[in-house]
């Protein structure tokens, strides 16, 4: 039988009693608390300065703890207690095991701290922004300055092994420079020309990266050039230091004001300068032998795209063969046509036949468009004179012989100018080339001489 003796207390025993109460209340701790090393230990040390134990490790935030005492004591914070610390993924502790020391402190910090990766380098010409700095699971996104592009991974994440998932990318100049071409309207050719002088300012390129350009290259004719009629495509290309290029294209359209097409009149011919129907072009008209011109001898294509003057016509020459004298007949040709007069005693004369053959050959270039032929055939009083199909009276034909002193017994060819003056005589047949040269070099007005030279080029070629 156990006898219970009622203890007696005095005032000196109160501190011991309080300690026993605290020990009873703290019994059963398993060391899985949630307070960090600093707060618990400092509070416990201040409160229980005289106890031989470390602050109990109730639990570890973001981890777990397992403690064991040297002799299997119930309390897991006596001197010599060893506690193993395990942290969750992404967290780490200074030491995986801590020991309660005689200094009443644990051997090292046992808190689980978040894993931290090395600080990222800033990419040149760029930067980055992170969701949680350099801590575990922080996601960083890289960016580049305007004009530069990322080369490498755009994002990286801090991993549990303190390494970033990707390296720092580089910012390279990938943006091509920009250039704006001139905006040109249609250009009209100048009077009498088929080209227009087009002028524009050379465009300047813009680089969105470092602003440094190397070259501006034009493909096509340069500014202030004369462009022919039609559409012309041009382009400018600009390069930056990284070799990127930017291009733009533009067009130059040259238009020519043109009048409606003119045609040579019947029994006449036309000669035009420039392109024949463009603004400023002049067209001159001539009539063939035996015809005379009415209307405008020359017409100009005007700015309003209409032709100056009036319609040109070539009407048959009204040659009056009923005049009394040869002089009156020749006066009708004054300032109209030159005369080629051929005479032979009979149509069977071999010289006459040969001369007519040469004359036809010479028509390849001359075409007799400015020459009227008067033939005097036969002997008086049976002789006749004819201008193409128009027959002259025998008396008038005789006067022509007498006026031009053409012998009735010899073949002669006489060239007469516009004043009716005898200029050249050929008593014998001449070759086609000689005949052409003779007529071609005969005194003419300037415009007629030009026509003759053009006709000569055709014939000689």
Confidence label for 402 from pLDDT (cuts 50, 70 and 90)? confident
Q: Give the pLDDT score at 47.
A: 60
Identify how many contiguous H helices and E strands the chain contains and give both numbers: 7, 27
| 207 vs 451 pLDDT, higher one | 207
- 373/276 Cα distance (integer angstroms): 32
pLDDT band at residue 122 under the 50/70/90 scheme:
very high
For the segment 208-231, the average pLDDT, to the nearest whole number, is 88
Rounded-to-integer distance, Cα 106 and Cα 71, Å: 18
CA distance 177 to 203: 13
Asked if residue 193 lies in contact with residue 159, where contact means CB atoms within 8 angstroms, the answer is no
pLDDT of residue 158: 94
Task: Read off the pLDDT of residues 167-202 as tens digits, 9 standing for 90 and up.
Answer: 999 998 888 888 999 998 899 998 999 999 999 998
pLDDT band, residue 316 (cuts 50/70/90): confident
pTM: 0.49
Q: What is the DSSP string of 285-298?
A: EEE-TTEEEES-SE
Asked whether the predicted pLDDT for residue 25 surpasses 50, the reply is no
Token pair 């800033």 in the structure block, residue: 122
pLDDT at 335 (0 to 100) = 53
Structural contact between residues 419 and 442, judged by C-beta atoms closer than 8 angstroms: no
Question: Residue 215, Cβ neighbours under 10 Å: how many?
Answer: 10
- pLDDT tens digits, 31-49: 333 334 445 555 555 665 5
User: Is the pLDDT score of 310 beyond 50?
Assistant: yes
Q: How confident is the model at residue 8 (pLDDT cuts 50, 70, 90)?
A: very low
Mean model confidence pLDDT for the chain: 77
Of residues 267 and 381, the one with the higher pLDDT is 267
**For 399-426, what is the mean pLDDT?**
70
Residue 355 has pLDDT above 50, yes or no: yes
Question: Domains in the chain, start-ordered, CATH in brackets?
Answer: 63-114 (2.10.70.10), 126-173 (2.10.70.10), 179-255 (2.60.40), 268-316 (2.10.70.10), 326-453 (3.40.30.10)
DSSP category for residue 78: B
Q: Is pLDDT of 430 > 80?
A: no
Q: What's the whole-number mean pLDDT along residues 298-327?
A: 89
Distances (CA, A) of 414 to 47, 83, 353, 425: 155, 146, 16, 5
pLDDT in tens, 126-172: 999 999 999 999 999 999 988 888 999 999 999 989 999 999 999 98
Q: Tell me the pLDDT tens digit for each residue of 358-396.
A: 665 544 444 455 667 788 877 777 777 887 778 888 888
Average pLDDT over residues 302-308: 93
* Structural contact between residues 300 and 284, judged by C-beta atoms closer than 8 angstroms: no
- % pLDDT > 70, the chain: 68
Residue 356: left (phi > 0), alpha (psi -120 to 50), or beta? alpha
CA angle 411–413–419, rounded 5-degree value: 140
pLDDT top residue among 113 and 291: 113
Q: pLDDT, tens digit, for every residue of 52-110?
A: 688 888 888 999 999 988 877 777 888 889 999 999 988 998 888 999 998 888 999 88
If you average pLDDT over each of 274-288, 308-322, 380-394, which comes out highest?
Answer: 274-288
Q: Is the pLDDT of residue 309 over 60?
A: yes
Least confident of 2-11, 49-58, 299-308, 370-379: 2-11
Q: Look at residue 17 and tell me whether its pLDDT is greater than 50.
A: no
């Amino acid at each position: 039988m156990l006898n219970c003796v009622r203890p007696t207390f005095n005032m000196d025993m109160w501190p011991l009693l309080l300690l026993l109460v605290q020990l009873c209340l703290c019994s059963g701790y398993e060391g899985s608390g949630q307070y960090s090393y600093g707060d618990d230990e400092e509070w416990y040390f201040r409160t229980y300065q005289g106890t031989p134990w470390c602050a109990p490790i109730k639990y570890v935030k973001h981890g777990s703890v397992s403690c064991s005492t040297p002799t299997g004591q119930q309390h897991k914070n006596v001197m010599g207690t060893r506690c193993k610390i395990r942290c969750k993924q992404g967290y780490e502790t200074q030491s995986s095991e801590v020991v309660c020391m005689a200094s009443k402190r644990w051997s090292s910090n046992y808190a689980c701290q978040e894993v931290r990766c090395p600080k990222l380098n800033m990419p040149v010409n760029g930067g980055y922004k992170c969701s949680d700095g350099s801590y575990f699971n922080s996601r960083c996104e890289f960016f580049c300055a305007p004009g530069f592009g990322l080369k490498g991974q755009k994002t990286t994440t801090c991993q549990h092994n303190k390494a970033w998932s990707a390296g720092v990318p580089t910012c390279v100049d990938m943006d091509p420079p920009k250039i704006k071409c001139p905006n040109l309207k249609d250009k009209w050719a100048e009077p009498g020309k088929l080209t227009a002088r087009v002028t524009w300012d050379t465009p300047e390129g813009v680089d969105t990266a470092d602003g440094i350009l190397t070259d501006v290259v034009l493909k096509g004719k340069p500014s202030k050039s004369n462009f022919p009629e039609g559409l012309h495509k041009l382009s400018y290309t600009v390069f930056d230091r990284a070799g990127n290029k930017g291009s733009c294209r533009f067009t130059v359209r040259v238009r020519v004001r043109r009048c409606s097409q003119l045609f040579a009149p019947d029994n006449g011919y036309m000669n035009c300068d420039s392109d024949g129907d463009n603004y400023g072009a002049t067209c001159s008209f001539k009539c063939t032998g035996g015809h005379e011109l009415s209307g405008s001898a020359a017409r100009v294509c005007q700015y309003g795209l209409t032709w100056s003057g009036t319609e040109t016509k070539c009407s048959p020459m009204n040659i009056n063969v009923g005049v009394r004298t040869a002089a009156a007949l020749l006066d009708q040709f004054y300032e109209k046509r030159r005369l080629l007069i051929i005479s032979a005693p009979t149509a069977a004369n071999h010289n006459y036949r040969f001369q007519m053959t040469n004359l036809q050959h010479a028509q390849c270039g001359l075409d007799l468009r400015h020459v009227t032929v008067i033939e005097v055939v036969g002997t008086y009083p049976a002789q006749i004179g004819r201008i193409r199909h128009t027959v002259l009276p025998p008396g008038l034909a005789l006067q022509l012989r007498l006026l031009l002193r053409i012998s009735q017994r010899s073949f002669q060819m006489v060239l007469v100018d516009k004043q009716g003056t005898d200029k050249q005589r050929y008593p014998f047949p001449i070759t086609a080339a000689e005949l052409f040269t003779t007529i071609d070099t005969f005194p003419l007005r300037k415009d007629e001489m030009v026509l003759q030279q053009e006709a000569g080029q055709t014939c000689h070629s």
